[in-house]
Copies of this chain bind each other. A is one copy, B any other.
Amino acid sequence: MGATQKADPREQTLLRMIALLEGAAAQGATLIIFPELAFTTFFPRWLIEGDALDAYFERSMPNPSVQALFDRARELRVGFYVGYAEVTPERRRFNAAILVEPNGSVLGRYRKVHLPGTREPRPNTAFQQLEKRYFEYGDLGFPAFRAGSDWQSAILGMMICNDRRWPEAWRVLGLQGVELVCVGYNSAAYDPNGGASEDEALRTFHSKLVAQANAYMNSTWAVAVAKAGDEDGSGLIGGSCIVDPNGRIVAEATTLSDELLVADCDLDLCRQGKDKMFNFEAHRRPQQYAAITSQVGVIEPAFVNIDKSTDRFRAAQPSS
């Protein structure tokens, strides 16, 4: 999807999404993946409070402001993944996604685990990244869902944006035999405050690289879908791609605008990896992975053999 500006009415955004959905259905697609926070601009770039913030959140899914998309999908017998900002009746807020099957039933819900950014606004900058302020950490884990017959009983998983850079998220899905992972994202193309940082090409390379390698290492299809382009003065990378279980890109976006990528995802292509190279039962050694779940941050090895005669010794100190 191309950018969605703050001033864009919901109806306009929904019409764009329905047009994409209809185009995909016309090409035979049965699963359509929309981006993270697909119905709005990426609002965590601003400090917003009160009613103005509430306006970005969905109190239920579906709801009247998105119902037309759900209705059209069911009519066309296509399902979809879409990301949105969720507020619960208890006023809990999550960066969420939903998988809706072609028959209209909700197959599963997901709440983003890996929230980037900060809780406190950075002073004197035009743009923020306040996901840690606006959202709670996802509390549903990384569940995989067994689809119904419209989707050939596929095992499907969801991630949102930054999750895709964390191999733990992929592996938890892989351990459930996932065959296709849906990822929507909004990823900055550059530092919108003008700081020195990776350029857009490198950021797009990173985005594809993690989808490709994690798809391969978990023998799964991966579909990573951007909201792209200039959004309210802040640039978002494109790079949407469909990746096969060998980690090869089989379709990729060429624009930063609304654009359809369609691929035939043969789920049986997952078997080669799952049964041989990545046969987890035969080859994983969890007794050697303890640190992954027993610690959060880095614990560096202590210094040894310190040679005080040289000035090449670095100043860093061990964190434990």
- B-binding residues in A (CB < 8 A): 105, 113-116, 137-138, 141-146, 148-150, 152-153, 155, 162, 165-172, 174-177, 198, 202, 205-206, 209-210, 212-214, 216-217, 246-248, 272, 274, 277-286, 288-307, 309-310, 312-314, 316, 318-319
User: Contact between A293 and B298 (Cβ–Cβ < 8 Å)?
Assistant: no
User: Contact between B286 and A298 (Cβ–Cβ < 8 Å)?
Assistant: no
| Contact residue among B141, B145, B152, B304 (Cβ-Cβ distance under 8 Å from A301) | B145
Chain B nearest Cβ from A228, distance in angstroms: 19
A212 to B319, CA, bound (A): 27
| Contact residue among B149, B297, B305 (Cβ-Cβ distance under 8 Å from A148) | B305
User: Contact between A172 and B289 (Cβ–Cβ < 8 Å)?
Assistant: yes
Besides A176-B298, A286-B294, 10 more A-B contacts (Cβ < 8 Å) are A149-B312, A153-B303, A162-B283, A172-B291, A175-B297, A175-B299, A177-B300, A206-B247, A209-B216, A212-B213
Q: A246-B206, A285-B113 are in contact. Are A301 and B168 (CB under 8 A)?
A: no
Q: A149-B307, A168-B171 are in contact. Are A210 and B206 (CB under 8 A)?
A: no
A280 to B298, CA, bound (A): 7
**How would you classify the secondary structure of chain A's contact residues: helix, strand, loop or mixed?**
loop
A300 to B144, CA, bound (A): 8
Question: Top 6 A-B pairs ranked by shortest CB distance?
Answer: A281-B297, A213-B213, A167-B167, A149-B307, A177-B300, A148-B305
A278 to B198, CA, bound (A): 14
Q: Could you list 12 examples of A-B contacts with CB < 8 Å?
A: A114-B283, A138-B288, A149-B305, A167-B170, A167-B214, A175-B292, A175-B297, A176-B301, A198-B246, A280-B296, A286-B292, A290-B293
Chain B nearest Cβ from A149, distance in angstroms: 4
A116 to B284, CA, bound (A): 10
Q: A153-B316, A165-B217, A312-B152 are in contact. Are A293 and B289 (CB under 8 A)?
A: yes
| Contact residue among B138, B292, B296, B312 (Cβ-Cβ distance under 8 Å from A293) | B292
A170 to B170, CA, bound (A): 14
User: Contact between A292 and B168 (Cβ–Cβ < 8 Å)?
Assistant: yes
| Contact residue among B138, B296, B318 (Cβ-Cβ distance under 8 Å from A286) | B296
User: Contact between B171 and A292 (Cβ–Cβ < 8 Å)?
Assistant: yes
Chain B nearest Cβ from A75, distance in angstroms: 19
| Contact residue among B114, B170, B302, B319 (Cβ-Cβ distance under 8 Å from A146) | B302
List, in ascending order, chain B residues with CB within 8 A of A281's CB.
296-298
The residue of chain B having its C-beta at the shortest distance from the C-beta of A307 within the complex is: B149
The residue of chain B having its C-beta at the shortest distance from the C-beta of A287 within the complex is: B293
List, in ascending order, chain B residues with CB within 8 A of A309's CB.
149
List, in ascending order, chain B residues with CB within 8 A of A153's CB.
303, 312-314, 316
List, in ascending order, chain B residues with CB within 8 A of A168's CB.
167, 171, 284, 288-289, 292
A214 to B171, CA, bound (A): 13
The residue of chain B having its C-beta at the shortest distance from the C-beta of A114 within the complex is: B283
| Contact residue among B144, B292, B298 (Cβ-Cβ distance under 8 Å from A177) | B298
User: Contact between A144 and B301 (Cβ–Cβ < 8 Å)?
Assistant: yes
Chain B nearest Cβ from A119, distance in angstroms: 10
